[in-house]
A and B are shown apart, each in its own frame.
Chain A
């Protein structure tokens, strides 16, 4: 089963833009944002964030800017970007949990924060529900590999887990999704 574990040998234009950004070019940074903002937005929405997904996209790029001096083009730019995005997503989850504890009751996503709500795509409710039933560990491998198009090794690098674990998690996730869709 190939999934998206393809290889490509074309140069990564984002790496070049990131190198220019690291050198201080705001024009390159703006272009980097434009090339990746939709991808990141979809990452966050598929991870279950609707209310302030655009804020998280912005925060991710702010972090890209902050660490630009440490960037080394050892891997694809997407690996670097999604490591930061996942951290932003995790931080947001921790903040939401603190908020819920303070409120003393569980709030739905739509009630947390005041950001712009990203509309759910029409007809995608069952898929969103299916993804929502997966554990975070399974959901993130599906989102990164199937939706965001990261290769197995990239997914492993982003999540900091072995390649074999990525593959087994994808299989488990697909099995759970199949059961859900067959219900």
Chain B
């Protein structure tokens, strides 16, 4: 056998092909992981200006809040307030007891998303966070039934299901643990089993089941991450969900629960922020026409230009996420003012330092856990 024959033998093996187009998943990943590219002069000039101001104001600048401090304080507050069983209590922090699974899941997502600090204190805090994370995961797994459902069955249980599945998927992303994989597998199956024929998801036990954007969004977010983590079979479910959601968008880019304007007072800013966050994802660019996409972006800009201290935390979180998908940087535009508002409203002193008051819409359902988790995530 000569060299040519060896090469022919090597080449006799046909090439393999990818199981599906990887581009949408990779685009979603780079969007999620996108780091702010720091231009040296852009960094130095504001820092120099800030240092000058700090000197002039006698160090007052140093006392001011920064997002990194804010995130650390929020995480500390969450770690401090976690119950021994790994949950966060609505009896202590407000909110509807039915949603304890969802609130524990939101806290878990917040802890998982907290970046590590390289300092010694940061490493110590990381260990504490890791312990909290493990306790929260155990709580969720303990509260999952054989059929994958989290907590008890009631009308709004799909919120628990979607948010808990998303939290477990985020945990599985970094902890490839077999028991976690099994729990996630059951949770994913439970979500898929409840998808409506039109592609959306809605409340349980409805006489006439109808899909609902808010419920659908959490299920899609959970399935979307799961599909990237080893459950490719759910991609058709995700696609159908997105298609249903795209159908909710009005020509002017606003959203409602089922159609734009189906909430009291016309189109809902919060639901518009939720729909925009999902449909502005580059992986789903083809689901809406370029004109509709522009209209959605215009709605996001309009919402960001009209901030207010009474803005609910759902809206702030999804609006921040939508603005990030529109490539806004934290230092300018609507995202900057949204962050400023959030930083100014974080409790600075006392027992509740690091948290946010639950004094806006849905505060009665989610309490201080909901406001703190979503405010902290909006600042990331």
A30 touches B16 (CB 8 A): no
A174 touches B3 (CB 8 A): yes
Interface window among B21-29, B101-109, B203-211, B341-349: B21-29
B18 touches A54 (CB 8 A): yes
A146 touches B11 (CB 8 A): yes
Known: A1-B4, A114-B230, A178-B1. A26 touches B15 (CB 8 A): no
Known: A114-B176, A174-B6. A34 touches B26 (CB 8 A): no
A181 to B10, CA, bound (A): 10
B98 / chain A contacts, CB cutoff of 8 Å: none
B1 touches A182 (CB 8 A): yes
B16 / chain A contacts, CB cutoff of 8 Å: 38, 41-42, 45, 118-119, 121
Q: B9 interface residue, CB < 8 Å from A?
A: yes
Q: B333 interface residue, CB < 8 Å from A?
A: no
Instruction: Determine which of B14, B18, B29 lies in contact with A121 in the assembled complex, contact meaning CB atoms within 8 Å.
Output: B14
A61 / chain B contacts, CB cutoff of 8 Å: 22, 26, 30
Minimum C-beta distance from B22 to chain A (A): 5
Task: Please report the number of residue pairs spanning A and B whose Cβ atoms sit closer than 8 angstroms.
Answer: 99
Q: B193 interface residue, CB < 8 Å from A?
A: no
B7 touches A174 (CB 8 A): yes
Q: B42 interface residue, CB < 8 Å from A?
A: no
A116 touches B232 (CB 8 A): yes
Q: B37 interface residue, CB < 8 Å from A?
A: yes
Write the residues of chain A forming the contact surface with B, with a CB cutoff of 8 angstroms: 1, 3, 26, 29-30, 33-34, 37-38, 41-42, 45, 54, 57-58, 61-62, 65-66, 69, 113-116, 118-119, 121, 123-124, 127-128, 130-131, 142, 146-147, 174, 177-178, 181-182
Write the residues of chain B forming the contact surface with A, with a CB cutoff of 8 angstroms: 1-4, 6-7, 9-19, 21-27, 29-30, 33, 35, 37, 176, 181, 230, 232, 282
Interface pairs (21), CB distance under 8 Å: A29-B30, A37-B23, A45-B16, A54-B22, A58-B22, A61-B22, A61-B26, A62-B30, A114-B176, A114-B230, A115-B230, A116-B19, A118-B16, A118-B19, A121-B16, A130-B10, A131-B10, A146-B10, A174-B7, A177-B10, A178-B3
